[in-house]
Structures are given as C-alpha cells and as structure tokens.
Structure 1
Amino acid sequence: MGGVTDIERALIVAAHPDDIDFSSAGTIATWTDAGVAVSYCIVTDGDAGGFDENVPRSEIPGIRQAEQRKAAAVLGVTDIDFLGYPDGRLTVSLELRRDISRVIRRVRPDRIVVPSPFRDLKSMYGSHPDHIATGEAAMCAIYPDARNPYAHPELAAEGFAAHAVPETWVSSANDTADHYVDITDTFDRKVAALREHVSQTEHMTDLAEMLGKWSGSQATAAGFEPGRLAEGYLVLDTR
C-alpha cells in the first residue's frame, strides 16, 4: 500500500475549495505525473469564505468554484464534483453520506483521501467543524454505504453500482501520520495551485514560506534528509 504506480484512480474528498490544495496538492501532482486519474469531491462551495467585503455573498460560490477549477488544472485534475452544501453548517447527515457515496460509486477509486473525522486539539485551524463532518461522512460512505448495494437504494436506481474502496488515506498534519509523500519536486505547483484561490490567498504574502515550514516539519517527522518537503497521511486498508 502507498505506492503510486499500483493505482489507476484516486478520489480526494474535502469540505471547502482550497482544502485539498493546502493538504495534498503536492501529493496529487506526483500522482497525476505518474498517470493516475484524480477526481475531487468538494462538499461546500466555500460561500462563508473570502475577505473582500465589496463582493456580494451571492457571488462567492461561483468565484470559489472557478478558483478551484483553476487550481485543479495546475495539478492536472479536471474531474470535480461540487456537492453544494452550505459552508459552516455541515452535519453528518444521511444525505451527505449518500452524496459522497454517489461520487465514490461513479469514480470507483482505488484510493481515497479524506479529512480526519477527529478534532485535533493541537490544531484549531485544522479542526474546522466542516472538515470533521466531511471526514466522518466520508468514512461512513467508504464503509458501509458505498460498498453496500442495499444502502441508499436511489443510487442503484440511478445506475451507480456498489464499490469498495481498497485504500483510504486520512490527511494528517501531526503525530498520527504513518506514511509520507515527498513533495519537494512538486512544491512549486502546490504554491501555484493555492495562488489560484485568489479570494483566499491574495493577502498572504508569506504563503510559500508558511507552506515550506509545514511541509518541512512533515519531512522531518518522516525522517527525510534535510531540505526535503512532505505531506503526511494515516493509511488505512479498507478493502
């Protein structure tokens, strides 16, 4: 488990536009470079985000979707599902479990990446309630929903057959990671992808430096040689 060439399709599930790029952009670039087909499932449109008070709230979802598409293109990703749930009000509902299950059954990934379903008391920013709800709903979709042909019968009626995801990666920024991806060679694309989220990062003059510190600390935790950069995950066998 954990290799690149042993998979054909990967699905990344996240709560908001830009979450994927902060947590996994370097990893995704290594996968697409190796020929892996990567798809995104974004649960909300990030309609509660943004810093420009002159932009009407009604325009934010469209802006953030467009930014996410541009960021994804930097990494070689074009297949994106936006589920359209309200930003800041996510709960682990049967409807959310069903909608993530639908994407899993459509994409039929060999590997899925999800946020942690647990609050990290060492990281307030990494424990946004939407992230936790997305992580838990995604784990419920992975098991038992997406693999059970009798769960959410409307999905079968829509033509989406059951699918068991063999491998689940949980994004992990602290001491729970047990697998690390070296992103030294794709770090510049991670920064470039995040710069496409103009409404979220335009004001961040120290973005590359901040990301470098995060990725450097992950590489240190991984035991990589000095100067390397990494993204960390907890890898689960979910066959």
Structure 2
Amino acid sequence: MLDAAEIRTVLVVTAHPDDIDFGGAGAVAAFTDRGTEVIYLLATSGDAGGFDRETDGAGMAAIRQAEQLAAAKSVGVSDVRHLGYPDGAVEATLALRKDIARVIRQVRPDLVITSTPERNYARLGPSHPDHRAVGSAALDAVYPDARNPYAFPDLLTEEGLEAWTVREVWMIGSPTPNHWIDITATVDRKIAALRAHESQTGHMADLEGMVKGFLSANAKAAGLPEGTYAEAFHVISTG
C-alpha cells in the first residue's frame, strides 16, 4: 500500500454529485490538508436526482453541479469535471472507459478513488447501477486502458496524452473493506460538504447524526478508539 507521502495526485471518479461526499470526503480533506492535489471526475451531473419535481433534468443538473462545487470547496478541491452521461442510465461502455482514461492521462494520478463495481447486499445504497457501472469502467480505465499506449491510440496521436500507470485504487461502498481512514479531524468538513448538497440532504432531519453513526461503526470495525470516525475503502494495488 502506498505511503501518504507517495500520493501527490488523487483522481476521484464517481457517478453523481454527492457520491464522494458520502463515501470519502473526509479522506479527501485529509489529502488536501497535506498538499495533495485532488481532482473530481463525475460521470453524470445528477439530473435524475433531487426531490423538486417542478425542476426539469437540465435545471436539476445545474443545481447539482453548483452544489458539488460548493461541497468540493469545503474539503479543499477546486477542479471538478463532469462527463455529461445521463443520470440513471450509465453503462460501463468503451466510450466511458476512454473518457476516464483520458482524464487519468491528463492529470496523472498516483491514486484513483472510485465506487465498487460489486453489489453490496448488506447496504443497497452503494449498489446503485450507475455506481457499479462507473466503478467497473474506472477499474478498466486504470488497467489496462490508461497504462497501455495501444489502447485508444488517438489519445496519444491526436491529443498527445502519454500512457500513465495508476499505482493504487481505493473503492468506496465495498462489501469487503480492507482499509480505514481516521477522519475525526475532518468529519465536520465532510458534513459541511454533505450539507452543500441541499437538493439531496435538505430533507434529512438528522444528517449529522446519521453520518456520524455509520462513521462510528466504521471506526469500531477498524479497531479505532471510541469517539473517533472513519471512512472505509477496499484498496487494490495495481502493481
């Protein structure tokens, strides 16, 4: 597993605005506090989300893009990119793999954080089909696409993007986590990021209590002291 000092750039690849904030914003804040560059890449703009049925898909996408920018700012991230795939209809296509591989070659991350492609039978939320599709495409973009100069050759010949090898992947929402990050110092910024997603969390009567509840359970599973909070990941080495 990579040492924190070896991680200079992190690319987060998720399906929707708020996915990373529920799954890993505390860890992101810890990275940016150390001076690590973090980039967000979202497959959709969340046009099928929210509870305001008077707002059409385009209007909801604009709202959620703005919310994600505000949430990202809470944890020290300013580079937020959207691929524009339709919310609720994402598939792990070659086109999506290429779009993710392109950004990997552009930003050249040491670490990619993405959703697990596995179905989680203990908790249904992480198993949204968009999450699983993006996780699958991101893993394929990491290996073999981004590192293989013969994959999507026009990325090199037409866009000048040299092959790049990501060294590690952290998956959020995995049913088999093997790594926990103590986010006690950044939990308030994680909650602030979630509150920025007003269209998604504004109806939750006790957002902070709910979030701290599952983060406390993560900390207990990790063997951390009582009163601490943790985010859970499944780490994959690409070496």
TM range (shorter): over 0.9
Q: Which residue of 1 aligns with 2:3?
A: 3
In structure 2, runs of 5+ residues without a counterpart are: none
Q: Which residue of 1 aligns with 2:203?
A: 203
- Partner of 2:185, secondary structure, is helix
| CA distance, structure 2, for counterparts of residue 12 and residue 2 of structure 1 | 16
Contact between 2:120 and 2:173, CA under 8 Å: does it hold in 1?
no
RMSD: 1.1
Mapped pair 1:114 → 2:114: yes
Mapped pair 1:70 → 2:70: yes
Contact between 2:45 and 2:61, CA under 8 Å: does it hold in 1?
yes
- Partner of 2:24, secondary structure, is helix
1:173-192 correspondence to structure 2 within 5 Å: 174=175, 176-192=176-192
Q: Which residue of 1 aligns with 2:81?
A: 81
In structure 1, runs of 5+ residues without a counterpart are: none
Normalising by the residue count of structure 2, what TM-score does the alignment of the two structures yield? 0.97
What's the CA shift for 1:188?
0.4
The one-letter code matched in structure 1 to 2:232 is G
What's the CA shift for 1:173?
5.3
Q: Deviations over 1:114-164 (max 9, x none)?
A: 100111111111100000000100010001000011111221121111101
| CA distance, structure 2, for counterparts of residue 3 and residue 230 of structure 1 | 18
Contact between 1:81 and 1:103, CA under 8 Å: does it hold in 2?
no
| CA distance, structure 2, for counterparts of residue 208 and residue 68 of structure 1 | 18
What's the CA shift for 1:228?
0.7
Contact between 2:116 and 2:174, CA under 8 Å: does it hold in 1?
no
The one-letter code matched in structure 2 to 1:191 is I
Q: Which residue of 2 aligns with 1:46?
A: 46
What's the CA shift for 1:55?
1.9
Q: Which residue of 1 aligns with 2:27?
A: 27
Normalising by the residue count of structure 1, what TM-score does the alignment of the two structures yield? 0.97
Q: Which residue of 2 aligns with 1:94?
A: 94
Contact between 1:171 and 1:232, CA under 8 Å: does it hold in 2?
yes
Contact between 1:92 and 1:137, CA under 8 Å: does it hold in 2?
yes
